[in-house]
Chains A and B, each alone.
Chain A
């Protein structure tokens, strides 16, 4: 059966500023949602329901006195409801859920997406992992994937909101459905967007790294992107000068599943202080990997996936790592 997907990108928060009245918008969330939708359509071949600040599946929101700002939690729950309330015992192999927007974490093990009508001190939200938890006990889907590009910080006054009134109409016997869950940051940490999109447009850092991993950065030697390597990719990379734990994603759940096949490794350039033309040998002990390349203009290039590597040649020996935060040019 086809995969299904619910993709949410909330960029407009018209009243969520610190003073309780001004905006607190995210400039990359809607485009991030569209970028993930593109991957889901083209690579995962999923059927996507897209909810953004602009509208639902291409139709602009209507606003009135009951719903003056959207999308709200009810809009998101309404997208899940058909999957939850259908009488069909199985609806697909996999359900993807991607959300981008402001977020909070009520405890270390979960994350909430703040919805558009938030206004301090009130922080309406949807605890998206609660939907996943419910689906794992049902037969609707065999695999659940959740990616949340949201902060994991704390809020002062909120009601953590789980989906309500769900009956076990299609309970799964035996093992629960498999789950892959990744959050942009650890508990109590912010997540960030930066000018990393085309033309310097703002994009979420986690989403950019997630897509980089799915498109080959986390592929194994056969070009397959599976849970373990994707999790390793998201959790690792070059440590910046501040040495903070905040820069890495959190992957609380990583049951094995395949996300993509035939994905090429990205090319990385490594700076080497040896003469041009020198032969450099790349290995990754104890594995069998052995690649050779010549130095050109002070750099040597290799197509690499996530992991640790040793580069040797011209009297130089160095170990480096490839992860989500590793830049394309490694100094």
Chain B
């Protein structure tokens, strides 16, 4: 059979489709295999941008070069900028002689529609527990016109002891908030891109087809967000393989499990040392692929060549990344643990200390509160032995969903009613958890559930009336429904079917309801069970 080799970016997905346009192969970072002769479509996807080529494979081998060099990036990617030095200079001016830990915020948008006085659209940053210390980003901005864009930069002091921080953005009728991770020895960088190019429209519509509603000119900029970390002094502009930080962010947002190839897994193992957020993102994606592979999808399996090259299996890779991330994000904990191992009286060789330290750092330590995103990764990797109290919202949406799913009195996490009152059900912005400003008490959440259930019975009465009257239009009157009602003497109304247990929760609180009812309510409305339960003694 003829050989087909497809060369592409290390972080690009490759799909091979046959003459019926059925997918016959998937890989990341390139493709190399023998296929039957015939017509094929090769599709390469990188950060949402697609390139395709149609080929006929005959007896001779073929090589294709399908690289995606331009994609919609939020963080500044060198080859996609018109003036790299100008962006670097602007960032440096904002940082000034800042020697204390800080958060650097860099925004870019089309110059013709930008408000130079408020390029950040009223956004602010504050410590998670202290809104009164909010810093309005527009007040300290520095602007520069670079190409046809306005770039703006500001640096905000951020002591990791006060963390996490919260980024608050004005988005028209909504004010959104999201968590921003800060850590000792790292500079957190928030990149904002005003979504005024609307590349999605161009991507989806032909020349004769139009989008529905659009934001009007002059509206508050709607920002896309990318949050990264770097060592203080490191370049703000990404180049070469560092474009993967943006590809990975996009992949996490879209649910694309791309961390299966050798190059990306190597980067996950070794290069998070320059950006721990790459490690958090990459490990989520790696575990996504592992879960899909274990569920039976062989295209997400870690290749034997990769395992051999890295001398590790999947769980070992996840463990190593977890331990390393703990060292990077919580160096004090790592140092204390290492000291304890050295001072405990047991004679160990250096490599034995390292191995023991790795084992200790795999698991959370209740004496060392940690990033909720790190806790979520431990849960996914099966490295949580005892319940962890979640002190603040996670930065990534996928992390929050994992923490919520495990939050219960007998679960591995505890999300308190107080924490819930800050975020409520919450939503997403890109791959990040985002919530509306305001108070989201458990009582208010349950009231909305009650409203929904009550409207159900009201709606059913109307529908039953319609069916009883036999009203029709050109559509069929719904004979199936009529038959059911006729056979069973009427439509069972929801109000009659609301379980007494659910009523008890909604009316009287969790004391009156059974655990089964609470489980059901939590599952139906994606609530953490812990907010319906009494807190364990040590969480009070």
Contacts and interface: CB of A to CB of B under 8 A. Distances in A.
A48 B463 contact: no
Contacts of A185: 204
A195 interface: yes
Interface string B261-284: 000000000000000000000000
B56 A310 contact: yes
Interface in A146-195: 154-165, 185-195
A58 B209 contact: no
Contact of B56 (A72, A285, A287): A285
Contacts of B424: 157
B237 to A, nearest CB: 24
B488 A87 contact: yes
B373 to A, nearest CB: 17
B460 A78 contact: yes
Contacts of B61: none
A107 interface: yes
Contacts of B467: 57
B343 interface: no
Given A49-B481, A67-B455, A190-B211, A321 B475 contact: no
Contacts of A79: 463, 481
User: Which of B18, B40, B171, B475 counts the most A-chain CB atoms under 10 A from its CB?
Assistant: B475
Given A165-B499, A194-B205, A308-B39, A186 B254 contact: yes
B492 interface: yes
A112 B429 CA distance: 16
A263 B223 CA distance: 47
Nearest to A237: B21
A325 B205 CA distance: 10
Query: DSSP class of A's interface residues: helix, strand, loop or mixed?
Result: loop
A164 B491 contact: no
A120 B174 contact: yes
A97 interface: no
Nearest to A76: B459
A192 B209 contact: yes
A59 B49 CA distance: 46
Nearest to A163: B524
Contacts of A262: none
B472 interface: yes
Nearest to A45: B476
Interface magnitude class on chain B: 35 or more
B255 A320 contact: no
A15 to B, nearest CB: 10
A88 B203 contact: no
Contacts of A286: 19, 36-38
A268 interface: no
A188 B255 CA distance: 9
A263 to B, nearest CB: 17
B485 A82 contact: yes
A20 B491 CA distance: 36
A97 to B, nearest CB: 14
B459 A75 contact: yes
Interface string A212-245: 0000000000000000110011011001111111
A121 B36 CA distance: 53
Interface in B449-470: 449, 452-453, 455-460, 462-463, 466-467, 469
A313 interface: no
Contacts of B255: 107-109, 187
A81 interface: yes
Given A82-B485, A86-B488, A186-B254, A235 B21 contact: yes
Given A78-B456, A244-B202, A306-B20, A47 B208 contact: no
Interface in B417-454: 424-430, 434-436, 445, 448-449, 452-453
A58 B473 contact: yes
Nearest to A19: B173
B41 A77 contact: no
Nearest to A320: B54
A200 to B, nearest CB: 9
Given A107-B401, A157-B425, A58 B472 contact: yes
B45 A245 contact: yes
A247 interface: yes
Interface in A302-331: 306-310, 319-321, 323, 325, 327
Interface string A1-41: 01010010000000001111000101100000000010001
B203 A164 contact: no
A107 to B, nearest CB: 7
B186 to A, nearest CB: 27
B54 A24 contact: no
Rank and list the top 8 A-B pairs by shortest CB-CB distance, nearest first.
Answer: A244-B203, A108-B255, A58-B473, A194-B209, A20-B173, A242-B202, A74-B459, A232-B21
16 contacts: A18-B215, A74-B459, A82-B480, A82-B481, A156-B429, A162-B525, A164-B525, A165-B497, A189-B204, A232-B17, A244-B199, A246-B204, A285-B38, A285-B39, A307-B19, A308-B39
Interface of A: 2, 4, 7, 17-20, 24, 26-27, 37, 41, 46-50, 56-59, 61-62, 66-67, 72-75, 77-79, 81-83, 85-88, 91-92, 106-109, 120-121, 123-124, 154-165, 185-196, 205, 228-229, 232-233, 235-236, 239-247, 284-287, 306-310, 319-321, 323, 325, 327
